[in-house]
């Protein structure tokens, strides 16, 4: 799990746990419920095709170009992976009809990260069950993060995706535990989002997720991250 004899950091433990769950071990009722969540999110996306935020982002990406690796929901158009995560995330979220989690801390929309699973799964040719398992695990991580983010604090609930999204993506990319820990640490370090994002269009979660899918990288391209991000004096928990 770790490259030295030092005790594993919290982010390393999380990465190890995410990879330790066998896809075949996901209970059938969880698989079926996750399918319903994915279908519900796709329905939200299909209904949002005429939304201004999606149209603006689409125009920008059309000018930038990129490899046609991934599908845009409800369209024959294909874009590169980060663009697909943002566009599909905007579609899922724009109408504010996707699911919500309300716990003891912040509330949030865990299905925003379904765009990550669908786009990364397509790019890396993951199985359908593999995508479902990653979505289920992403929900678990996202909702537990929301439980420790103070209500109406400085930081927006989209901050939780800075940890959940790279773990979803890295599992689908086939990263090992050490690579996944680095990716999660890099993303968590840079993904804190101010609550003022609530005053704009519903693209905050999608923007966080778009950034996070550039963090996971298979060897030999792994970028080291601060794996103590969850337990030092300036740790992610303190920010949240």
**Which pLDDT value is given to residue 113?**
95
| In-domain check, residue 1 | no
| In-domain check, residue 185 | yes
pLDDT at 100 over 80: yes
Mean pLDDT computed over 108-127: 96
Q: Two tokens at 171?
A: 């599992």
The percent of residues above 90 in pLDDT, for the chain, comes to 62
Average pLDDT, the chain: 85
Determine how many CB atoms are found less than 10 A away from the CB of residue 12.
Answer: 24
Q: What is the pLDDT of residues 167-199, one digit of tens each?
A: 999 999 999 999 999 999 988 887 777 777 666
Q: Please, are residues 159 and 191 in contact by the beta-carbon 8 Å criterion?
A: yes
Mean pLDDT computed over 41-50: 97
Give the model's confidence band at 37: pLDDT under 50 very low, under 70 low, under 90 confident, else very high: very high
| In-domain check, residue 188 | yes
| In-domain check, residue 97 | yes
Q: What is the pLDDT of residues 135-145, one digit of tens each?
A: 999 999 999 99
pLDDT higher for 239 or 215?
Answer: 215
| In-domain check, residue 137 | yes
Q: For residue 143, which of 129, 153, 157 has the smallest C-alpha distance?
A: 157
- Looking at beta carbons, which pairs linking 174-178 to residues 24 or more positions away fall under 8 Å? 174/124, 174/218, 175/19, 175/216, 175/217, 175/218, 176/19, 176/219, 177/1, 177/12, 177/15, 177/16, 177/19, 178/1, 178/2, 178/3, 178/12, 178/15, 178/222
Mean pLDDT computed over 34-52: 97
Domain that holds residue 208: 10-239
pLDDT at 206 over 80: no
**Which pLDDT value is given to residue 198?**
64
Q: What is the CATH number of the domain that holds 235?
A: 1.10.4100.10
Give the model's confidence band at 150: pLDDT under 50 very low, under 70 low, under 90 confident, else very high: confident
- Structural domain total, the chain: 1
Residue 226 backbone dihedrals phi, psi, to 5 degrees? -75, 90
| In-domain check, residue 231 | yes
| In-domain check, residue 4 | no
């Amino acid at each position: 799990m770790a490259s030295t004899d030092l005790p594993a950091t919290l982010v390393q433990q999380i990465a190890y746990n995410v990879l330790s769950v066998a896809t075949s071990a996901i209970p059938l009722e969880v698989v079926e419920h996750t399918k319903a969540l994915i279908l519900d999110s796709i329905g939200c996306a299909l209904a949002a095709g005429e939304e201004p935020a999606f149209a603006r982002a689409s125009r920008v990406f059309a000018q930038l170009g990129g490899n046609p690796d991934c599908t845009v929901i409800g369209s024959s158009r294909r874009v590169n992976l980060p663009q697909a995560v943002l566009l599909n995330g905007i579609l899922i979220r724009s109408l504010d009809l996707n699911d919500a989690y309300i716990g003891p801390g912040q509330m949030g929309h865990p299905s925003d990260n379904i765009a990550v699973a669908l786009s990364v799964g397509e790019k890396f040719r993951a199985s359908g069950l593999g995508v479902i398992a990653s979505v289920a695990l992403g929900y678990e991580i996202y909702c537990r993060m929301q439980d420790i983010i103070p209500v109406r604090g400085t930081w927006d609930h989209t901050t939780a995706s800075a940890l959940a999204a790279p773990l979803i993506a890295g599992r689908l990319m086939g990263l090992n535990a050490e690579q996944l820990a680095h990716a999660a640490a890099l993303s968590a370090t840079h993904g804190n989002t101010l609550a003022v994002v609530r005053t704009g269009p519903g693209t905050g979660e999608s923007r966080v997720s778009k950034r996070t899918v550039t963090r996971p990288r298979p060897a030999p391209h792994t970028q080291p991250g601060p794996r103590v991000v969850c337990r030092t004096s300036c740790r992610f928990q303190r920010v949240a």
